[in-house]
Amino acid sequence: MSALEKAYYSPVGRKVASKAGLHEPPRLRRGREWPQGRIVLAPLGASSLVADALALLGREHDAPVVDSGTDAPGYGDRIGALVVDALDVAAVTDLEALRAVLRPAARAVERAGRIVVVARPGGAGGGWEADAVARALDGINRTVGKELRGGATATLVYAHEGVAAADLVSTLGFVLQGRSAFVDGQAWHVRPAAVTADRLDEHPLDGRVCVVTGAARGIGAAIARTLAREGAAVLAVDIPAAGEALAAVANEIGGTALQLDITADDAGARIAAHVAARGARIHAMVHNAGITRDKMLVNTDADRWASVLDVNLAAEMRINAVLLDPAVEGGMADGGRIVGIASTSGLAGNKGQTNYAASKAGVAGLVAAMAPDLAHRRITVNAVAPGFIETEMTARIPFVQREVFRRVNSLSQGGQPVDVAETIAYLCEPASQGVTGQVIRVCGQNMVGA
């Protein structure tokens, strides 16, 4: 810690910072905790899909009592969460009903509470107005996320035509629980997936092999721990130089370790061989390993360019190609999960990171391209895009800049590695079958523009 940093974190420093408007950030609720207080359902039309999904969530996962919404829009006391069934909202005039339920909720929602809107994505022959309204909902959601205080968040779930209640359960469970602590102002899509109720169990990854690259530290170690908590048999991968830390993570979670540079030509084959030796196939391949070699473009030479693109993007593609070959023993199982790690600075662009932005935006492009092609094997392909997360990678950023990065989001703080890990674990759940081709930002609604 630098002298400046020490002074900033001293009691006097905190007081000065608070006077300057840098208040203590709100405490977030993490893990499998439900919101404090009732989860209130507000149906805006005849649809009962969200009510059915919440009923399943209550039955399978002991979600706190779900109100029928009869007391909306007044609410009376404070509430833990508001879930709006806006599936019948298709006209501009329908948005008034949404405003009417959101307005009191914005005041009534508890600290670290949730506002969740489930709506149609448009584009299904509903006409231009329905498409415009679907985007209007995104604008509303992003704004509500910025206005909510005390660590409360807003989420919009686009449920496609044909989605059944069970298809929504893992998404609503993730969004309402503390697992989504640092996911704010986000919208993503759920498609019909014929999820059956027996897939909604508590340890959804029991015995399934999940591979995590870059697992020796930081976000990768948190992903390995979180997937293990969900019951997975984790194969933790990292470079030989990180062998000791890698072994420690693998031992701690009862997983196995593989020392491997993912840019090696035989990286995919070595991962598959390791899994095949245990008589298994891969349920989830999490491509977390990544590097930065920051320089302004005018100073970016071919080496910095090549190394970042190779580790962050090309290696992932080479490994996928091997593991997706059905003939390869120890490759991806049908119904499996591929998860990449993008970055908000990649998606929005960031000074000094042309190479990194190329690689991370490339990951988002890869996900969109692969998802439809692998749907016939029920393999989902998604990415998470972390914002500012407290790790060794970000600890290298100079202090003042680091403190600014921490603050420029709706939750006024940096995220924890576990926040990224929880989002990945949600995507890896068998019950998340309907979520594919998505990039979910884990950034506390970062204002960099992503």
Grouping H, G, I as helix, E, B as strand and the rest as coil, residue 275 is: helix
CB of 344 to ligand NAD, least distance (A): 7
Q: Is 141 in the site for ligand NAD (CB under 6 A)?
A: no
Grouping H, G, I as helix, E, B as strand and the rest as coil, residue 279 is: coil
Per CB under 6 A, the segment of 38-46, 54-62, 80-88, 381-389 that binds ligand NAD is: 381-389
Contact with ligand NAD (CB under 6 A): which of 272, 388, 418, 424? Answer: 388
CA torsion, ordered 200, 195, 427, 35, to nearest 10 deg: -50
Contact with ligand NAD (CB under 6 A): which of 291, 314, 317, 448? Answer: 291
Using an 8 Å Cβ cutoff, are 361 and 306 in contact? no
Grouping H, G, I as helix, E, B as strand and the rest as coil, residue 151 is: coil
Active site residue 9: no
Closest CA to 150 of 413, 441, 411: 411
Residue placing its CB nearer to ligand NAD in the complex, 29 or 217: 217
Q: Is 311 in the site for ligand NAD (CB under 6 A)?
A: yes
Q: Is 220 in the site for ligand NAD (CB under 6 A)?
A: yes
CB of 170 to ligand NAD, least distance (A): 23
Per CB under 6 A, the segment of 88-96, 108-116, 197-205, 386-394 that binds ligand NAD is: 386-394
Q: Is 403 in the site for ligand NAD (CB under 6 A)?
A: no
Residue placing its CB nearer to ligand NAD in the complex, 193 or 216: 216
CB of 1 to ligand NAD, least distance (A): 18
Residue placing its CB nearer to ligand NAD in the complex, 213 or 382: 213
Residue linked to tokens 């680091």: 402
Per CB under 6 A, the segment of 20-28, 56-64, 98-106, 217-225 that binds ligand NAD is: 217-225
CA pair distance 122, 139, nearest whole angstrom: 14
| Count of residues of this chain found to bind ligand NAD when the rule CB under 6 A is applied | 27
Contacts of 360-363 with CB under 8 Å at 24 or more apart are: 360/312, 360/385, 362/309, 362/312, 362/313, 363/287, 363/312, 363/313, 363/316
Q: Is 213 in the site for ligand NAD (CB under 6 A)?
A: yes
Who's near 241: CB < 8 A, 6+ residues apart?
none
Q: Is 214 in the site for ligand NAD (CB under 6 A)?
A: yes
Segment 257 to 286, residues that bind ligand NAD, using CB under 6 A:
261-263
Q: Which residues of 362-384 are buried (b: 16+ CB within 10 A; e: fewer)?
A: bbbebbeebbeebeeebbbbbbb
Using an 8 Å Cβ cutoff, are 141 and 185 in contact? yes
- Selecting among 8, 75, 158, 356, the annotated active-site residue is 356
Per CB under 6 A, the segment of 68-76, 208-216, 298-306, 347-355 that binds ligand NAD is: 208-216
Q: Where do contacts with ligand NAD occur on this chain (CB under 6 A)?
A: 213-214, 216-220, 238-239, 242, 261-263, 288-291, 311, 341, 343, 386, 388-389, 391-394
Residues identified as active-site: 356
